[in-house]
Amino acid sequence: MIEVSGIVQGVGFRPYVFRLSKRLQLSGFVKNNSDGVLIEIEGDENSANQFIDILSNQPPPLAQILNKKVTDIPPTREPGFHITKSDSRQKKNTLISPDIATCEDCLQEMRDPTDRRYLYPFINCTNCGPRYTIISDIPYDRSKTSMAGFSLCPRCQTEYDDPMDRRFHAQPNACSVCGPTLKFIGEDHLETSENPLELLLKALKEGQIAAIKGVGGFHLAADARNQAAVKVLRERKHRFEKPLALMVKDIQTISTIAFLNEETIIQLSNLHRPIVLCKKRDSNGIAGEIAPDNDYFGIMLPYSPLHEMIFQQGNLDVLVMTSANISEEPICFEDTECITRMKNIADCYLLHNRDIYIRCDDSVMHIFKNKPFFIRRSRGYGPRPVILSREGISVLAVGGHLKNTVCLTRENLAFLSQHIGDLENLQTLHVFEQTIDHLQTLFEVKPEYIVHDLHPEYMSTKWVEEETTVPHRSIQHHYAHILSVMAEFGIEKDIIGIALDGAGFGEDRAIWGGEVLLCNLHTYKRLAYFDYLPMPGGEKSIIEPWRMAVSYLLKYFENGSDLAVSFFGNKSFSINIIEQMIEKRLNTPMTSSCGRLFDAVAAILGLRTTVAYEGQAAVILESIAEKTTSDFLNIGKIEIVPENGHWILDPNEIMHNIVKYKINGKPLANISRAFHNALIDVFLRLVHILREQIDTDVIALSGGCFQNMRLLTGLYQQLEQRGFRVFTNKEVPVNDGGISLGQAYWGMHNCGKKA
């Protein structure tokens, strides 16, 4: 008897076992159960061993075996090999596959005029198609998916029943006779199932905005080569300047608009089909509105049969495909909901009747050191667990405030949710609650503890305190960032964590964000941080970087006020107010945020005084550094000053040089490079000092600022060159999308024990 657990359901595991046993002339059976898959084989010992060997080393492509237990049982002498019915037992230990892009076999059938699924937009098989987003409960059987309402036609049923068929027990199996269908709603609000795709393509070609139902929710689509259409989309969606994702016909087309290398091609075309950030080509023919001030396009390839058909049937090769939502609200995933919420944005709709049960935005990644580097881990990856080095108690971690994700643990597995969004409105809070419920149902875990952020005002903190009865503990934001790296690499002992970030609530109630922490699995100590300075207007300064610039000028310059007026003259009235706010400490928390330092520098350099989204000024600052290759400018050092048992990082000298160079008209690209170098340099000097005091050579880098590739690459490489062992996140984002994993890791090993 062989018991296998992991991602073994809905990935063609049973037909694979069936075919393998036939080949090796073994008898017995295979079935799904709530722990995974149960196999009994009987026959020649050699063949049986071979069976186990092949199963372990060459499982089906989508399967992920986490555990395998082999036991000897008495023979039954029953002939033949069978696939038997699943039993749904109490405990649910199985895992669920993420949604997978259409496989090559299915694509070929879809393009073949003689195939019965020619141009059928819901073609799939056991090797591909939707999974997580159509499941309401486990075990993974058709009756527990949104395909339950479609009964298989005789031909589909035959495939479904035939163990030798690629669609054997493919739960979403369907064809145009028995399966889901498309419909189109046009500008005239009329609904039709006649040539819906043709109508969609015509509308897009005319520059209309279409809401297209996808795998994890709706996209808003527009022709990316049509400047006017993209502009209209931005205005209606209230999404200004933040880059819009593109879906591009094929790799060949991508290579005409962006630079590709081996690794970006691998990631773009893998089964998970994430959005990959690819460096733009100069003359790319894409509307400038897509990603202004940014060196990268976020690009994905088509991942559903419907997407494939959109590109094959029409003459559009690059589409904007952005989540159907308004500013930061959750993505739409139900037809009626979409029509109501998108009525002022979309001109037309392409809908279908295969329901989405779980919304799931597209995943986004950068490439770092030739490996994926997640900006958002969502569709195609969730709910695949992060596998931890050892077991702990079950906890629920509710994440941060922005880019929220939650994380539920069971044994040594951490189930990180898909991207939920910014917990700033009730709709998102609702999705947050739904996601927690759903994870608990699918993995049948009731957490013993909940871990949340230290911030008392976070919606997630309030939810834990007001809506749950489970005991809970809080941990500091930047400690959680570092813990997320520790979780991924199984680190438990003392390490130096460098958390460079936007904002997180500190133990002293200040806004932390430029922190060097000594961390272990149980506790942390703050070693160093950026010199505190006022953040006039609190949150407001995040979208108004000039406020931080004024704050820096006032702090470090005797004539700060005059300088502020000379840089932001048109705001002189407000500068006055800011001075008073700082003086009277009105709505002016103190901060050590590295993100805000980036903002201030960008504002002083005149790149941006206000931004459309958090971190935009830093993105622009990073981007202009690429415009030169010379590092001739010396802007001095960020000083390291001992103070009350901490090291304070004091940017006084570099601020003076930045201001001087700006006034003297030095090239901004060089100033930006020098600024990045100074940041890298201060941490190199700091860890050199720390190495004398602390017995560790392990360093973890995390926090949103490390999405800046210049900073990350520079610091990582130079730390490595100096003999440190350096780690950063690989499976979860360095931004706040990853902190639920850090919280969970801490909770698993500390909650329930005496502090």
Residue 264 or residue 743: which is nearer to Fe ion going by CB? Answer: 743
* Cβ closest to Fe ion, residue 30 vs residue 699: 699
Taking CB under 5 A as the binding criterion, the range among 118-126, 250-258, 280-288, 493-501 that sits at the site for Zn ion is 118-126
By CB under 5 A, which span of 99-107, 122-130, 494-502, 708-716 interacts with Fe ion?
494-502
**Nearer to Zn ion (CB atom), residue 128 or residue 600:** 128
Compute φ and ψ for 511, nearest 5 degrees.
-90, 110
The helix/strand/coil state of 365 is strand
Which of Fe ion, Zn ion, none lies near 543, with the C-beta cut-off 5 to 8 A by kind? none
How far apart, in Å, do the first and last CA atoms of the chain sit? 44
Residue at token pair 């339950």 = 148
Partner interacting with residue 177 (select from Fe ion, Zn ion, none; CB below 5-8 Å by kind): Zn ion
Query: What is the nearest approach in angstroms of Fe ion to the Cβ of residue 500?
Result: 9
Q: Which residues of 709-740 are buried (b: 16+ CB within 10 A; e: fewer)?
A: bbbbebbbeebeeeebebbbbbbbbbbbbbbb
Q: Which is nearer to Fe ion, 362 or 736 (CB)?
A: 736
Question: Footprint of Fe ion on residues 725-754 (CB under 5 A)?
Answer: 736
Q: Does 614 bind Fe ion (CB under 5 A)?
A: no
CA distance 123 to 116: 10
Longest dimension (CA), the chain: 93
Residue 362 binds Fe ion, judged by CB under 5 A: no
Give residues 681-720 in contact with Fe ion (rule: CB under 5 A): none
Question: Which is closer to Fe ion, CB of 267 or CB of 484?
Answer: 484
- Shortest spacing between CB 516 and Fe ion, in angstroms: 15
Beta strands in 359-431 (DSSP E): 364-368, 371-376, 386-387, 395-397, 407-410, 413-416
- Nearest approach, Cβ of residue 372 and Zn ion (Å): 23
How many secondary structure helices (H) and strands (E) does the chain include? 23, 31
**Between 128 and 134, CB nearer to Zn ion:** 128
- How many Cα atoms are found within 13 Å in the side-chain-facing hemisphere of 568? 28
Q: Closest distance between Fe ion and the C-beta of residue 421, in Å? A: 15
Binding partner of residue 156 among Zn ion, Fe ion, none, CB cut-off 5 to 8 Å per kind: Zn ion
Shortest separation between residue 125's beta carbon and Zn ion, angstroms = 3
Would you say 272 and 363 are in contact if contact means Cβ atoms under 8 Å apart?
yes
Smallest distance, Zn ion to C-beta of residue 265, A = 21
Distance CA 478, CA 744 (A): 14
Query: Is 110 one of the binding residues for Zn ion (CB under 5 A)?
Result: no
Tell me: does residue 501 bind Fe ion (CB under 5 A). yes
- 106 interface partner picked from Zn ion, Fe ion, none, CB below 5 to 8 A per type: Zn ion
Q: Does 260 bind Zn ion (CB under 5 A)?
A: no
What single string gives the DSSP state of each residue in 569-604?
GGGHHHHHHHHHHHHHTSS--EE--HHHHHHHHHHH
Q: What angle do CA 279, 289, 186 make, to 5 degrees?
A: 115
Minimum Å distance from CB 514 to Zn ion? 48
> With binding defined as CB under 5 A, does residue 515 bind Fe ion?
no
Span of 119-127, 439-447, 486-494, 710-718 interacting with Zn ion by CB under 5 A: 119-127
Select from Zn ion, Fe ion, none the partner in contact with residue 701, using the beta carbon and a kind-dependent cut-off of 5 to 8 Å.
none
In angstroms, give the least distance from the CB of 599 to Fe ion. 15
Contact partner at residue 175 from Fe ion, Zn ion, none, CB < 5 to 8 Å by partner kind: Zn ion
Query: Shortest Cβ distance from residue 453 to Fe ion (Å)?
Result: 9
Asked if 128 is part of the footprint of Zn ion (rule: CB under 5 A), the reply reads: yes
**Six-digit token string for 187:** 């500008």
Asked if 107 is part of the footprint of Zn ion (rule: CB under 5 A), the reply reads no
Applying CB under 5 A, among 70, 153, 265, 640 the residue interacting with Zn ion is 153
Residue 694 interacts with, from Fe ion, Zn ion, none (CB under 5-8 Å by kind): none
Which residue number, 501 or 531, has a Cβ lying nearer to Fe ion? 501
Residues between 47 and 106 with contacts to Zn ion, criterion CB under 5 A:
103, 106
Question: Binders of Zn ion: how many residues, by CB under 5 A?
Answer: 10
Q: Is 445 in the site for Zn ion (CB under 5 A)?
A: no
* Three-class DSSP labels, 429-472: HHHHHHHHHHHHHHCCCCCCEEEEECCCCCHHHHHHHHHCCCCE
Using the minimum distance from each CB to Zn ion, give the nearer residue, 305 or 392: 305
Q: Which does 310 bind (CB under 5 to 8 A by kind): Zn ion, Fe ion, none?
A: none
550: its two tokens: 């004024």
Residue 103's binding partner out of Zn ion, Fe ion, none, with CB under 5 to 8 Å set by partner kind:
Zn ion
Q: Give dist(CA 136, CA 9) in Å, integer.
A: 14
Nearer to Zn ion, 302 or 595 (CB): 302
Q: Any idea of the CA torsion for 244, 250, 252, 254, to the nearest 10 degrees?
A: 10
Which residue from 177, 266, 641, 663 is in contact with Zn ion, where contact means CB under 5 A?
A: 177
> Which parts of 548-577 interact with Fe ion (CB under 5 A)?
none
Site for Zn ion in 178-237 (CB under 5 A): 178
- Shortest Cβ 381–Fe ion spacing (Å): 20
Of residues 30, 156, 199, 711, which one binds Zn ion by CB under 5 A? 156
- 222 neighbors 322 (Cβ within 8 angstroms): no
Q: What is the dihedral of CA 550, 554, 559, 561, to 10 degrees?
A: 50
**Residue 226: strand, helix, or coil:** coil
For residues 659 and 604, what is the distance between their CA atoms, to the nearest angstrom? Answer: 7
Q: Which two tokens stand for residue 135?
A: 């499941």
Tell me: does residue 422 bind Fe ion (CB under 5 A): no
Q: Beta-carbon neighbour count of residue 178 at 10 Å? A: 15
Q: Across the beta sheet with 182-185, what order do the strands follow?
A: 191-192, 182-185, 348-352, 210-213, 218-223, 318-323, 246-248, 296-300, 275-279, 364-368, 371-376
For 433, phi then psi, to 5°, come to -65, -45
In the complex, least distance from residue 126 CB atom to Zn ion, rounded to whole angstroms: 7
Residues 647-686 that bind Fe ion (CB under 5 A): none
- Nearer residue to Zn ion within complex by CB, 172 or 330: 172
Stretch that binds Zn ion, among 74-82, 176-184, 609-617, 644-652 (CB under 5 A): 176-184
Q: Which does 501 bind (CB under 5 to 8 A by kind): Fe ion, Zn ion, none?
A: Fe ion
Smallest gap, in angstroms, from Cβ of residue 301 to Zn ion? 16
Separation between Cα atoms, residue 491 and residue 489, nearest integer Å: 6
Question: What is the Cα–Cα distance from 182 to 159, expressed in whole angstroms?
Answer: 23
Nearer CB in complex with Fe ion: 418/593: 593
What b-and-e string marks burial along 214-224, b requiring 16 or more CB atoms within 10 Å of the CB?
A: bbbbbbbbbbb
What residues have CB less than 8 Å from 696, skipping those under 6 apart? 493, 494, 495, 496
Which partner from the list Zn ion, Fe ion, none does 17 bind, CB cut-off 5 to 8 Å by kind? none
Question: What's the DSSP call for residue 352?
Answer: E
Token duo for residue 203: 């509308």
Of Fe ion, Zn ion, none, which one sits near residue 125, judging by CB under 5 to 8 A according to partner kind? Zn ion
Whether residue 342 contacts residue 325, with contact meaning beta carbons closer than 8 Å, is answered with: no
Distance CA 744, CA 411 (A): 12
CB of 369 to Fe ion, least distance (A): 22
Of 289 and 501, the one with the shorter C-beta distance to Fe ion is 501
Residue nearest to Fe ion (CB): 501
Residues 17, 175, 356, 367: which binds Zn ion (CB under 5 A)?
Answer: 175
Summarize as ranges the residues that interact with Zn ion (CB under 5 A): 103, 106, 125, 127-128, 153, 156, 175, 177-178
Summarize as ranges the residues that interact with Fe ion (CB under 5 A): 501, 736
